A = this chain, B = another copy of it.
Amino acid sequence: METISAAKSFGGTQGVYRHKSEACNCDMVFALFMPPKAAQERVPLLWFLSGLTCTHQNVMDKGEYRRLAAELGIAVICPDTSPRGDDVPDEPENWQFGKGAGFYLDATQAPFNRNYRMATYIAEELPLLVGQNFALDMDRQSICGHSMGGHGAITIALRNPGRYRSVSAFAPIAQPSTAGWSRPAFEKYLGADESAWRTYDSTLLIEDGYRLPELLIDQGTADGFLDDGLRPHLLQEACSKANIPLTLNMRDGYDHSYFFISTFIDDHLRWHGERLRK
Protein backbone atom coordinates (compact mmCIF):
# COMPACT_ATOMS: atom_id res chain seq x y z
CA MET A 1 0.00 0.00 0.00
CA GLU A 2 1.31 3.40 -1.01
CA THR A 3 0.44 6.81 0.44
CA ILE A 4 -0.45 9.19 -2.37
CA SER A 5 -1.11 12.13 -0.04
CA ALA A 6 -1.75 12.87 3.62
CA ALA A 7 -2.89 16.24 4.95
CA LYS A 8 -3.72 17.35 8.45
CA SER A 9 -7.38 18.27 8.69
CA PHE A 10 -9.47 19.06 11.78
CA GLY A 11 -6.66 17.65 13.90
CA GLY A 12 -6.71 14.29 12.10
CA THR A 13 -5.32 13.09 8.79
CA GLN A 14 -7.04 12.98 5.40
CA GLY A 15 -5.05 10.42 3.44
CA VAL A 16 -5.27 9.00 -0.07
CA TYR A 17 -3.82 5.54 -0.64
CA ARG A 18 -3.14 3.22 -3.57
CA HIS A 19 -2.93 -0.55 -3.43
CA LYS A 20 -2.99 -3.56 -5.70
CA SER A 21 -6.47 -5.07 -5.54
CA GLU A 22 -6.83 -8.80 -6.05
CA ALA A 23 -10.60 -8.58 -6.27
CA CYS A 24 -10.50 -5.97 -9.03
CA ASN A 25 -7.26 -7.13 -10.62
CA CYS A 26 -5.92 -3.57 -10.83
CA ASP A 27 -4.55 -0.74 -8.70
CA MET A 28 -7.22 0.90 -6.58
CA VAL A 29 -7.22 4.22 -4.75
CA PHE A 30 -9.20 5.11 -1.64
CA ALA A 31 -9.45 8.06 0.75
CA LEU A 32 -9.39 7.56 4.51
CA PHE A 33 -9.87 10.20 7.19
CA MET A 34 -8.45 9.27 10.58
CA PRO A 35 -9.75 11.44 13.44
CA PRO A 36 -7.38 12.82 16.11
CA LYS A 37 -8.62 10.20 18.58
CA ALA A 38 -6.90 7.49 16.48
CA ALA A 39 -3.58 8.65 17.96
CA GLN A 40 -4.75 7.23 21.29
CA GLU A 41 -6.95 4.24 20.43
CA ARG A 42 -8.57 2.25 17.65
CA VAL A 43 -11.56 4.13 16.26
CA PRO A 44 -14.77 3.00 14.53
CA LEU A 45 -15.07 3.17 10.75
CA LEU A 46 -17.80 4.67 8.58
CA TRP A 47 -17.89 3.66 4.92
CA PHE A 48 -19.08 6.21 2.37
CA LEU A 49 -19.88 4.67 -1.03
CA SER A 50 -20.13 7.24 -3.81
CA GLY A 51 -22.38 7.52 -6.83
CA LEU A 52 -22.08 7.25 -10.60
CA THR A 53 -19.06 9.02 -12.18
CA CYS A 54 -17.37 9.56 -8.80
CA THR A 55 -13.97 8.50 -7.54
CA HIS A 56 -12.82 8.61 -3.90
CA GLN A 57 -12.25 12.31 -4.41
CA ASN A 58 -15.72 13.76 -4.85
CA VAL A 59 -16.93 13.18 -1.32
CA MET A 60 -13.45 13.82 0.08
CA ASP A 61 -13.55 17.29 -1.50
CA LYS A 62 -17.23 18.13 -1.14
CA GLY A 63 -18.73 15.90 1.55
CA GLU A 64 -17.82 18.11 4.54
CA TYR A 65 -17.60 15.08 6.85
CA ARG A 66 -14.30 15.79 8.60
CA ARG A 67 -15.32 18.42 11.17
CA LEU A 68 -17.88 16.25 12.90
CA ALA A 69 -16.10 12.93 12.25
CA ALA A 70 -13.08 14.43 14.05
CA GLU A 71 -15.27 15.53 16.94
CA LEU A 72 -17.03 12.16 17.20
CA GLY A 73 -13.82 10.16 16.76
CA ILE A 74 -14.99 8.27 13.66
CA ALA A 75 -12.78 7.29 10.72
CA VAL A 76 -14.37 7.72 7.28
CA ILE A 77 -13.32 5.66 4.27
CA CYS A 78 -14.25 6.72 0.73
CA PRO A 79 -13.51 4.01 -1.85
CA ASP A 80 -13.58 4.36 -5.62
CA THR A 81 -16.72 3.33 -7.51
CA SER A 82 -15.17 0.89 -10.00
CA PRO A 83 -11.95 -0.74 -11.10
CA ARG A 84 -9.60 1.60 -12.97
CA GLY A 85 -6.79 1.49 -15.48
CA ASP A 86 -6.16 1.09 -19.18
CA ASP A 87 -6.69 -2.67 -19.02
CA VAL A 88 -10.18 -2.40 -17.55
CA PRO A 89 -12.99 -2.80 -20.13
CA ASP A 90 -15.12 0.30 -20.34
CA GLU A 91 -17.61 2.29 -22.38
CA PRO A 92 -16.00 5.73 -22.11
CA GLU A 93 -19.03 7.62 -23.46
CA ASN A 94 -21.47 5.87 -21.11
CA TRP A 95 -21.52 7.34 -17.58
CA GLN A 96 -23.93 4.63 -16.41
CA PHE A 97 -21.67 1.67 -17.12
CA GLY A 98 -18.03 0.68 -16.75
CA LYS A 99 -15.50 2.91 -15.02
CA GLY A 100 -17.20 5.07 -12.41
CA ALA A 101 -20.24 2.79 -12.53
CA GLY A 102 -19.31 -0.48 -10.83
CA PHE A 103 -22.70 -0.73 -9.05
CA TYR A 104 -21.04 -2.49 -6.10
CA LEU A 105 -21.63 -5.95 -7.59
CA ASP A 106 -19.43 -8.86 -8.67
CA ALA A 107 -19.76 -9.18 -12.45
CA THR A 108 -20.18 -12.69 -13.81
CA GLN A 109 -20.03 -11.88 -17.52
CA ALA A 110 -16.85 -11.66 -19.61
CA PRO A 111 -14.95 -9.46 -20.08
CA PHE A 112 -16.24 -7.55 -17.03
CA ASN A 113 -15.87 -10.36 -14.50
CA ARG A 114 -12.09 -9.97 -14.60
CA ASN A 115 -12.21 -6.56 -12.86
CA TYR A 116 -15.71 -5.51 -11.87
CA ARG A 117 -15.88 -7.20 -8.48
CA MET A 118 -16.70 -4.24 -6.28
CA ALA A 119 -18.96 -6.24 -3.93
CA THR A 120 -16.00 -8.41 -2.90
CA TYR A 121 -13.66 -5.44 -2.92
CA ILE A 122 -15.80 -3.33 -0.56
CA ALA A 123 -17.02 -6.11 1.72
CA GLU A 124 -13.93 -8.33 1.90
CA GLU A 125 -10.65 -7.04 0.51
CA LEU A 126 -10.61 -3.40 1.54
CA PRO A 127 -11.78 -3.98 5.15
CA LEU A 128 -8.97 -6.50 5.59
CA LEU A 129 -6.41 -4.08 4.17
CA VAL A 130 -7.39 -1.05 6.27
CA GLY A 131 -7.93 -3.14 9.40
CA GLN A 132 -4.32 -4.26 9.14
CA ASN A 133 -2.85 -0.86 8.31
CA PHE A 134 -4.72 1.69 10.41
CA ALA A 135 -5.82 2.12 14.02
CA LEU A 136 -9.37 0.96 13.30
CA ASP A 137 -11.74 -1.03 15.45
CA MET A 138 -13.25 -3.26 12.77
CA ASP A 139 -15.87 -4.53 15.23
CA ARG A 140 -17.41 -1.07 14.95
CA GLN A 141 -18.27 -0.37 11.32
CA SER A 142 -21.17 1.48 9.75
CA ILE A 143 -21.95 2.17 6.11
CA CYS A 144 -23.61 4.87 4.07
CA GLY A 145 -23.63 6.00 0.48
CA HIS A 146 -25.06 8.29 -2.16
CA SER A 147 -27.21 7.32 -5.14
CA MET A 148 -25.49 4.26 -6.70
CA GLY A 149 -23.47 4.21 -3.46
CA GLY A 150 -26.68 4.25 -1.42
CA HIS A 151 -27.70 1.15 -3.33
CA GLY A 152 -24.24 -0.26 -2.60
CA ALA A 153 -24.41 0.49 1.12
CA ILE A 154 -27.85 -1.01 1.62
CA THR A 155 -27.26 -4.15 -0.47
CA ILE A 156 -23.87 -4.88 1.07
CA ALA A 157 -25.31 -4.40 4.56
CA LEU A 158 -28.30 -6.65 3.76
CA ARG A 159 -26.03 -9.44 2.52
CA ASN A 160 -23.70 -9.14 5.55
CA PRO A 161 -26.01 -9.18 8.57
CA GLY A 162 -24.34 -8.04 11.78
CA ARG A 163 -21.34 -6.59 9.96
CA TYR A 164 -22.43 -2.94 10.16
CA ARG A 165 -23.84 -1.30 13.26
CA SER A 166 -25.91 1.07 11.12
CA VAL A 167 -26.80 1.83 7.51
CA SER A 168 -27.86 5.07 5.88
CA ALA A 169 -28.13 6.57 2.44
CA PHE A 170 -28.52 9.81 0.56
CA ALA A 171 -30.85 9.50 -2.42
CA PRO A 172 -30.19 5.77 -2.97
CA ILE A 173 -31.19 3.89 -6.11
CA ALA A 174 -33.94 1.85 -4.47
CA GLN A 175 -34.56 -0.75 -7.15
CA PRO A 176 -31.73 -0.77 -9.71
CA SER A 177 -32.92 -3.97 -11.40
CA THR A 178 -35.93 -2.14 -12.84
CA ALA A 179 -34.59 1.43 -13.23
CA GLY A 180 -33.75 2.62 -16.73
CA TRP A 181 -30.29 3.93 -15.87
CA SER A 182 -29.11 0.70 -14.18
CA ARG A 183 -30.86 -2.17 -16.02
CA PRO A 184 -28.44 -2.14 -19.00
CA ALA A 185 -25.46 -2.26 -16.63
CA PHE A 186 -26.96 -5.12 -14.64
CA GLU A 187 -27.50 -7.09 -17.85
CA LYS A 188 -23.93 -6.51 -19.06
CA TYR A 189 -22.36 -7.29 -15.68
CA LEU A 190 -24.65 -10.15 -14.63
CA GLY A 191 -26.21 -11.60 -17.77
CA ALA A 192 -29.77 -11.78 -19.04
CA ASP A 193 -31.11 -14.01 -16.28
CA GLU A 194 -32.68 -11.46 -13.95
CA SER A 195 -32.88 -13.87 -11.04
CA ALA A 196 -29.13 -13.27 -10.65
CA TRP A 197 -29.77 -9.56 -10.20
CA ARG A 198 -31.79 -9.94 -6.98
CA THR A 199 -28.70 -10.16 -4.78
CA TYR A 200 -27.78 -6.62 -5.87
CA ASP A 201 -31.18 -5.00 -5.43
CA SER A 202 -32.19 -3.61 -2.02
CA THR A 203 -35.92 -4.08 -2.44
CA LEU A 204 -35.60 -7.62 -3.82
CA LEU A 205 -33.12 -8.66 -1.13
CA ILE A 206 -35.65 -7.53 1.48
CA GLU A 207 -38.38 -9.43 -0.41
CA ASP A 208 -36.10 -12.48 -0.26
CA GLY A 209 -35.84 -12.24 3.52
CA TYR A 210 -32.67 -10.23 4.11
CA ARG A 211 -33.02 -7.78 6.95
CA LEU A 212 -31.56 -4.62 8.50
CA PRO A 213 -32.25 -3.53 12.07
CA GLU A 214 -33.14 -0.04 10.79
CA LEU A 215 -32.42 2.37 7.95
CA LEU A 216 -31.96 6.15 7.59
CA ILE A 217 -32.51 7.82 4.22
CA ASP A 218 -32.41 11.46 3.16
CA GLN A 219 -33.83 12.39 -0.21
CA GLY A 220 -34.14 15.79 -1.87
CA THR A 221 -37.52 16.65 -3.38
CA ALA A 222 -35.87 18.65 -6.21
CA ASP A 223 -33.65 15.71 -7.19
CA GLY A 224 -33.91 15.28 -10.96
CA PHE A 225 -33.50 11.50 -10.65
CA LEU A 226 -36.17 11.07 -7.98
CA ASP A 227 -39.11 9.68 -9.96
CA ASP A 228 -37.37 7.52 -12.54
CA GLY A 229 -33.99 6.54 -11.14
CA LEU A 230 -34.25 6.59 -7.35
CA ARG A 231 -37.87 5.86 -6.34
CA PRO A 232 -37.56 5.78 -2.53
CA HIS A 233 -41.22 4.76 -2.27
CA LEU A 234 -40.24 1.27 -3.46
CA LEU A 235 -37.82 0.95 -0.58
CA GLN A 236 -40.43 2.38 1.74
CA GLU A 237 -42.91 -0.30 0.66
CA ALA A 238 -40.34 -3.08 1.00
CA CYS A 239 -39.29 -1.91 4.49
CA SER A 240 -42.89 -1.53 5.55
CA LYS A 241 -43.78 -5.09 4.50
CA ALA A 242 -40.66 -6.45 6.20
CA ASN A 243 -41.09 -4.41 9.40
CA ILE A 244 -37.72 -2.69 8.91
CA PRO A 245 -37.87 0.69 10.69
CA LEU A 246 -37.13 3.25 7.99
CA THR A 247 -36.56 6.96 8.63
CA LEU A 248 -37.12 8.61 5.25
CA ASN A 249 -36.52 12.35 5.34
CA MET A 250 -37.83 14.11 2.24
CA ARG A 251 -35.84 17.36 2.09
CA ASP A 252 -37.75 20.16 0.45
CA GLY A 253 -35.98 21.80 -2.49
CA TYR A 254 -32.71 19.85 -2.33
CA ASP A 255 -31.20 18.30 -5.45
CA HIS A 256 -28.92 15.28 -6.07
CA SER A 257 -25.61 17.11 -5.52
CA TYR A 258 -23.06 17.36 -2.75
CA PHE A 259 -24.75 20.61 -1.73
CA PHE A 260 -27.53 18.30 -0.54
CA ILE A 261 -25.22 15.67 0.97
CA SER A 262 -23.07 18.17 2.88
CA THR A 263 -26.17 19.84 4.31
CA PHE A 264 -27.32 16.61 5.97
CA ILE A 265 -24.05 14.72 6.49
CA ASP A 266 -23.93 15.86 10.13
CA ASP A 267 -27.30 14.18 10.80
CA HIS A 268 -25.98 10.93 9.37
CA LEU A 269 -22.66 11.16 11.22
CA ARG A 270 -24.47 11.69 14.54
CA TRP A 271 -26.87 8.83 13.79
CA HIS A 272 -23.99 6.47 13.02
CA GLY A 273 -21.95 7.89 15.89
CA GLU A 274 -24.61 6.91 18.43
CA ARG A 275 -24.56 3.34 17.10
CA LEU A 276 -20.77 3.11 16.88
CA ARG A 277 -20.18 3.72 20.58
CA LYS A 278 -18.28 1.02 22.41
Contacts and interface: CB of A to CB of B under 8 A. Distances in A.
Interface of A: 7-11, 14, 61-62, 64, 66-67, 220, 222, 253-255, 257-260, 262-263, 266
B7 A66 contact: no
Contacts of A10: 262-263
A254 B222 contact: no
Contacts of A61: 61-62, 258
A260 B7 contact: yes
Nearest to A254: B8
Nearest to A265: B67
A255 B7 contact: yes
B260 A222 contact: no
Contact of A66 (B14, B254, B255, B262): B262
Contact of A260 (B8, B257, B262): B8
A274 to B, nearest CB: 20
A196 to B, nearest CB: 38
27 contacts: A7-B254, A7-B255, A7-B259, A7-B260, A8-B220, A8-B253, A8-B254, A8-B255, A8-B259, A8-B260, A8-B263, A9-B259, A9-B262, A9-B263, A10-B263, A11-B263, A14-B259, A61-B61, A61-B258, A62-B62, A64-B64, A64-B262, A66-B259, A66-B262, A66-B263, A67-B262, A67-B266
Nearest to A258: B61
A253 B7 CA distance: 8
A153 B231 CA distance: 47
The 10 closest A-B pairs by CB, nearest first: A9-B259, A7-B259, A8-B253, A64-B64, A10-B263, A8-B254, A61-B62, A7-B255, A61-B61, A14-B259
